[in-house]
A and B are shown apart, each in its own frame.
Chain A
Amino acid sequence: MSKAVLMQGNEAAVEGAIAAGMRFFAGYPITPSTEIAEQSAVRLPQVGGKFIQMEDELASIAAVLGASAAGLKAMTATSGPGFSLMQENLGYGMMAEIPCVVVDVQRAGPSTGLATSPAQGDYMQARWGTHGDHPVIALSPSSVLETYTLIIRAFNLAEKYRTPVLFLMDEIVGHMREGVELPRPSDLIINQRKMSFHDGANKQCYYVPEGQYVPAMKPFGHGERYNITGNAHDESGFPTNSSEIAGKLVTRLLDKVEKNTGDIVRVEEYAMDDAETAIVCFGGTARAVMDAVLEARAAGKRVGMFRPVTVWPFPAGQLRARLPQLKRLLMVEHNHGQMLLEVQRAVGREKPVDFLGRVDGTVISPRDILDKLNEMEENGYAQ
């Protein structure tokens, strides 16, 4: 018998999170993410963790941030409408530097949209949903196994950079079951929160040593007394009206992600070595792209896949590194052209970028992509 187990994407998110040390989940039911809450309710008490169903998504993200401030690795899961409700407190978590993981199993919108249909229309919301300039790390898996391993990475990044990390799933991956062989727990790398730099010198809870970006206070109840606020604050954690301190704070928050993209950003490339056409995609869309690439290759076409696994920050550097060999790019995503904007920004006018999108709740098939490639060819790849 095989060691593989049949697992749904949403279930893998829970199992991966628990392997990463998640011991608190607060959420509100919403399709197509509900299985994550249900499975957390089953699994967390088994490992001594805690599950609570809150009265809405506003409360869910708030409880998650509270639990994290009290020292537990915490997560919530939702879909578009709930993700919209969470935006204010996501910004709070970024400003107050409270680690957590927020899963958004995207569905077709806007508004209530098509509740059970796949989409990737929250990509830009993930970056810009909360007000003000803020740092964002967002990861997007394309298989059940990757959901498991990547959500562990999401927790690791959240703890390392002390910030909410967004986990952008879609209905394709969330509701899909695959046979997976999970890594052994002993093979996993799990980051724990840095619990203070204090060596007697600086007692400020938001103190950040020169050349570093992330403060390291202990959770509440661990013997240090301090203040957390969503106001602009100084290193003591208290509100300030100083424009100098406020400016430095926001710059540091942005820098802790921007200056560490080498650590944070991951890309999967397939058949890119000699590719002339790069198909850019993320999340569940990659599954159709892979089949299209395989079929195009079989027909002798030099097509490859460029898939940001870290979708924010967008891997512009990695994409630009491929530009000299490329003749053209095709962005394929289940929205009206969101990551497309980032691709165009990275590519500029150097190479033509074409687009295949879908907003009707149906799934882009390998055939659709092959047809698009043929159409591009017939049009001489003109823009």
Chain B
Amino acid sequence: MKGRYELRFAGSGGQGVILASVIFAEAAVISGMKTVQSQAYGPEARGGVSKAETILSREPIWYSKVTAPDFLLALTQESLDSYSKTLAAGGLIMMDSSLRLPEGLDPAQVLSVPVLQTAREVVGKAFTANIVAVGAINKALGLFDGETLLEAVKRHIPAGTEDINRRALDAGAELISPEQAAAFARKWG
């Protein structure tokens, strides 16, 4: 893994992209990596654009904002259209499969995954979409081992919701085929 890796999570308020971002930062802390997590949001508690960022590094991190992320999760068309433009060279995108691929993007750098549908129909609760996404992202990028990620999730969910969140995490991971993971992991290096 290169020195500094920047992840951006974008969606609308209420989709839980900030929590997804926090979970990766937590997993980084558990594994002894350096991390900085931050977010930007509008006045809306629900709706509007919500953006969260996690920086992962082996070295101390100073500047805490992401300018050209190596990875983007987009759960709404608006966030995909605007943030896909600011990706780093060779950056990767995971977009919800309900969205349209913006023009000018190389399909090879994009993974279209039914995050929202899986949360609704497989896990059975739409609000687990962020955890489904966490499972899928972790599998695709090969960031953390399963135990570390599960511990990170547990530190940020209400007591009594462990089972459904574990199912969401697993359902997310299953959305990524070994071939896709291999393709993405190559770009990661």
List the interface of chain A (C-beta within 8 A of B): 1-2, 4-6, 115-116, 172, 175-179, 284, 286-288, 290-291, 294, 363, 365-367
- Taken together as a complex, chains A and B put the C-alpha atoms of A304 and B143 apart, in Å, by 35
Report the minimal beta-carbon distance from A152 to chain B, rounded to whole angstroms: 22
Report the minimal beta-carbon distance from A26 to chain B, rounded to whole angstroms: 25
- Residues of B contacting A365 with CB < 8 Å? 63, 65, 67
Q: A2-B30, A5-B29 are in contact. Are A176 and B62 (CB under 8 A)?
A: no
Interface 0/1 of B154-165, CB less than 8 Å to A: 010000000000
Which 8 pairs across A and B sit closest by C-beta, in order of nearness? A179-B29, A290-B62, A177-B37, A2-B32, A291-B63, A6-B29, A287-B62, A291-B62
Is the CB–CB distance between B35 and A179 below 8 Å? yes
- Which residue from chain B places its CB closest to the CB of A172 in the assembled complex? B64
Question: Which residue of A1, A175, A177, A291 contacts B30 across the interface (Cβ within 8 Å)?
Answer: A1
Q: Does B31 contact A (CB under 8 A)?
A: yes
Query: Which residues of B from 20 to 61 have beta carbons under 8 Å from A?
Result: 22, 25-26, 28-43, 61
Most buried by A among B34, B38, B41, B61: B38
Is the CB–CB distance between A6 and B22 below 8 Å? yes
- Taken together as a complex, chains A and B put the C-alpha atoms of A293 and B155 apart, in Å, by 36
- Residues of A contacting B61 with CB < 8 Å? 178
Report the minimal beta-carbon distance from B10 to chain A, rounded to whole angstroms: 16
Is the CB–CB distance between B29 and A284 below 8 Å? no
Report the minimal beta-carbon distance from B78 to chain A, rounded to whole angstroms: 18
Query: Which residues of B from 143 to 174 have beta carbons under 8 Å from A?
Result: 155
User: What are some 6 contacts across the A-B interface (CB < 8 A)?
Assistant: A1-B32, A176-B36, A176-B37, A179-B34, A284-B64, A291-B62
Question: Which residue of B22, B31, B42, B63 contacts A177 across the interface (Cβ within 8 Å)?
Answer: B22
Is the CB–CB distance between B64 and A6 below 8 Å? no
Is the CB–CB distance between A2 and B31 below 8 Å? yes
Report the minimal beta-carbon distance from A107 to chain B, rounded to whole angstroms: 12
Is the CB–CB distance between B36 and A178 below 8 Å? yes
Is the CB–CB distance between B29 and A175 below 8 Å? no
- Residues of B contacting A177 with CB < 8 Å? 22, 25, 35-38
- Residues of A contacting B67 with CB < 8 Å? 365, 367
Q: A115-B43, A116-B42 are in contact. Are A6 and B37 (CB under 8 A)?
A: yes
Is the CB–CB distance between A287 and B34 below 8 Å? no
- Residues of B contacting A287 with CB < 8 Å? 62-64
Report the minimal beta-carbon distance from A56 to chain B, rounded to whole angstroms: 20
- Which residue from chain A places its CB closest to the CB of B34 in the assembled complex? A179
Is the CB–CB distance between B40 and A116 below 8 Å? yes
- Taken together as a complex, chains A and B put the C-alpha atoms of A5 and B152 apart, in Å, by 11
- Taken together as a complex, chains A and B put the C-alpha atoms of A192 and B106 apart, in Å, by 63
